[in-house]
Copies of this chain bind each other. A is one copy, B any other.
Amino acid sequence: MSFDVQGLKFDDKGLIPAIAQDETSGEVLMMAWMNAESVERTLQTGRVTYWSRSRQSFWVKGESSGHVQELVDFRVDCDRDCLLVVVRQTGPACHTNRRSCFYTAVREGEEIELMKPMHG
């Protein structure tokens, strides 16, 4: 079956959540949003391209930082309202310079920092 971006379920702002997972470690790196055109750009270019809600513009991940995400596999969930992009991540995925945005755990009511910023 051919993939049709219009078959995805976008929310009332025209957006769909996209989870980025590291192809090697399996680590969940981040979650951001895509609109129909960022889905198409991601598939066409192989560079993961989100829609920045704060800047209201396309966000080619790593375009300014160099911390690009090369698309390895693009997946759609059963309800077609969430995406999973498996990526080859250069450098840290998080703007805090940590490998993943999910570096805070909640254990017994306390917040625990699981990883430190990367160097360089």
Contact = CB atoms under 8 A, between A and B. Distances in A.
Which size class do A's interface residues fall under?
A: 35 or more
This chain's copy number in the assembly: 2
A28 interface: yes
Nearest to A111: B1
A94 interface: yes
Nearest to A82: B31
A109 B19 contact: no
A77 B105 contact: no
Contact of A103 (B21, B27, B43, B78): B78
Nearest to A54: B79
B103 A28 contact: no
A118 interface: no
